Amino acid sequence: MPTYILLSTLTPEGRRTLHSDPDRLDEVNQEITDFGCEVVAQYAVLGSYDFITVIQAADNETVAHLSVDLAHAALSTSSRCRRFRWRSCARN
């Protein structure tokens, strides 16, 4: 499965929710898994984003649908990137 990187920024409501219920992050990861994706790694980061989540998913459409589904809760906004190995891009 292709690898994708989700760059997430918590909304004010998302910050309050995560502060009062830290287990919410595990619930979101379970939602990602229930969507048919696999969480490979997740990092809390400093800077423009609050979390970087590395997932594997079947295709671009699945990740787009997942992003809409997660945004519906209005707890975070996200950007999505598909990861490519540099060598495979350089050969083309």
Q: How far apart are CA 36 and CA 34, in angstroms?
A: 5
Q: What is the CATH number of the domain that holds 41?
A: 3.30.70.920
Residue 85 domain boundaries: 3-91
Model confidence pLDDT, tens digit, residues 35-84: 999 999 999 999 999 999 999 999 999 998 888 888 776 666 666 656 66
Number of domains in the chain: 1
In this structure, what are the phi and psi dihedrals at residue 6, rounded to the nearest 5 degrees?
A: -100, 125
Confidence band of 88 (pLDDT split at 50, 70, 90): low
- 69 or 27, greater pLDDT: 27
pLDDT for 79 equals: 65
